[in-house]
């Protein structure tokens, strides 16, 4: 049963009046893959959030009105205590959903225990169905048959939602979009196509072009009113007898920031008010130095008051972005 929601004195709102109800925790900056577009640097700094830090942060944010937590990374399944961290979050009064994003490499063995621990929504990154391409995109450790078995295990584990995320890269996978849709639908999953953001090298394919490519690859798209918690816009896709939803995340070319409801704590323990920002508030160091829940809550409110209308990821003059593996996507 979902624990009762605490009633926040004043719900968390950013400087533009957007309610913040969704916390993303990057549990580790370590990763077993080396995706070209993610963070070209070696594994990021930060030991990762300790289980007790994660649990306290979730409790504090729930008290401020957060209702959903996503566990991400780096690769969160590298954490031996992932099921415990997820279970702590799921048991926190006020938290309605715990979600996870993974590269799928360890999903075959973890799908059922994570579901049992309280993870209800799962996103798996799947950019290609071709082993040679996956090795070129993610490194030689990435094992496609194993990832596909993991997605099969997730499909039977009973998640309320299963999404397969593909970053669309020119010259990388833009000829496989139709195949990725059909594969996802056969597993009861929603394929989602993400515009490449400038955290690493690569040539992005704008969402408008992704839609044209899908049409050319046999997927007819129709409007659909489905809205999720995040910035994805959905359409209904049909390819012969197969059909299902398709999600689009136009991080660079579309109104990605409109209605943003997210806040992030990175694997370095610092709060980021924006995925594409450069500012960080050292929340976990404050917590370990003895700050009270009320003091931490006020610091979070202060950081969110400074949040801009939209990200400026494309503005290289503002300096490098914070590493994706530390921030968690």
- Name the residues that contact ligand SF4, by CB under 6 A: 31, 33-35, 38, 73-75, 103, 125, 138, 324-325
Stretch that binds ligand SAM, among 194-202, 221-229, 280-288, 291-299 (CB under 6 A): 194-202
Determine, following the binding rule CB under 6 A, whether residue 329 of this chain makes contact with ligand SAM: yes
The residue whose two tokens read 């010259």 is 171
- Residue 21 binds which entry of ligand SF4, ligand SAM, none, CB below 5-8 Å type-dependent: none
Determine, following the binding rule CB under 6 A, whether residue 151 of this chain makes contact with ligand SAM: no
The number of CA neighbours under 13 Å toward the Cβ of 246 is 29
Q: How many residues does the chain have?
A: 329
Q: Which of 139, 245, 146 is nearest to 190 (CA)?
A: 245
Closest separation between CB of residue 79 and ligand SF4, Å? 13
Stretch that binds ligand SAM, among 49-57, 151-159, 193-201, 212-220 (CB under 6 A): 193-201
Stretch that binds ligand SAM, among 192-200, 211-219, 222-230, 274-282 (CB under 6 A): 192-200
Q: Which is nearer to ligand SAM, 88 or 195 (CB)?
A: 195
Q: Which is nearer to ligand SF4, 103 or 128 (CB)?
A: 103
Cβ atoms within 10 A of the Cβ of 108, count? 18
Closest separation between CB of residue 106 and ligand SF4, Å? 11
107 and 124 in contact (C-beta within 8 Å)? yes
Binding to ligand SAM in span 48-107, by CB under 6 A: 72-73, 75, 101-103
Q: Which is nearer to ligand SF4, 31 or 249 (CB)?
A: 31
Beta bridge partners of 169: 204
Determine, following the binding rule CB under 6 A, whether residue 328 of this chain makes contact with ligand SAM: yes
Closest separation between CB of residue 2 and ligand SAM, Å? 26
Round to whole Å and give the CA distance between 144 and 124: 12
Structure tokens at 231: 């910035």
Closest separation between CB of residue 187 and ligand SF4, Å? 19
Round to whole Å and give the CA distance between 309 and 206: 21
Lay out the site mask for ligand SAM across 107-126 (x = CB under 6 A, - = otherwise).
------------------x-
Q: Which is nearer to ligand SF4, 103 or 261 (CB)?
A: 103
Closest separation between CB of residue 79 and ligand SAM, Å? 12
Q: Which is nearer to ligand SAM, 243 or 253 (CB)?
A: 253
The CA-based angle 302-307-310, given to 5 degrees, is 170
Closest separation between CB of residue 291 and ligand SAM, Å? 28
Q: Mutual orientation of helices 207-216 and 177-186 as an angle, nearest 10°?
A: 80
Interface positions with ligand SAM (CB under 6 A): 31, 37-38, 72-73, 75, 101-103, 125, 165, 167, 194, 196-197, 199-200, 324-325, 328-329
């Amino acid at each position: 049963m979902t624990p009762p929601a605490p009633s926040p004195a004043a719900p968390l709102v950013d400087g533009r009046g957007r309610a913040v109800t969704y916390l993303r925790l990057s549990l580790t900056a370590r990763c077993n893959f080396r995706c070209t577009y993610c963070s070209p640097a070696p594994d990021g700094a930060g030991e990762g959030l300790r289980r007790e830090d994660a649990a306290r942060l979730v409790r504090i944010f729930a008290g401020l009105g957060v209702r959903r937590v996503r566990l991400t990374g780096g690769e969160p399944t590298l954490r031996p205590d992932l099921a415990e961290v997820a279970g702590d979050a799921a048991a926190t009064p006020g938290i309605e959903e715990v979600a996870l994003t993974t590269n799928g490499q360890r999903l075959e063995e973890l799908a059922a225990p994570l579901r049992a621990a309280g993870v209800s929504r799962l996103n798996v990154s799947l950019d290609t169905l071709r082993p040679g391409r996956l090795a070129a995109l993610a490194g030689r450790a990435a094992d496609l048959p194993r990832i596909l078995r993991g997605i099969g295990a997730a499909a039977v584990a009973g998640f309320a939602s299963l999404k397969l995320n593909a970053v669309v890269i020119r010259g990388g996978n833009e000829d496989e979009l139709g195949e990725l849709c059909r594969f996802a639908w056969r597993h009861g999953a929603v394929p989602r196509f993400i515009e490449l953001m400038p955290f690493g090298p690569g040539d992005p394919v704008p969402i408008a072009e992704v839609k044209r490519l899908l049409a050319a690859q046999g997927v007819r798209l129709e409007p659909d009113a489905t809205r999720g918690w995040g910035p994805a816009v959905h359409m209904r896709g049909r390819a012969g007898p197969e059909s299902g939803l398709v999600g689009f995340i136009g991080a660079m070319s579309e109104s990605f920031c409109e209605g943003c409801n997210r806040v992030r704590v990175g694997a370095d323990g610092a709060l980021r008010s924006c995925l594409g920002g450069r500012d960080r508030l050292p929340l976990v160091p404050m917590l370990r130095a003895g700050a009270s829940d009320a003091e931490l809550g006020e610091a979070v409110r202060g950081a969110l008051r400074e949040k801009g209308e939209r990200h400026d990821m494309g503005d290289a003059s503002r300096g490098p972005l914070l590493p994706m593996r530390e921030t968690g996507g």
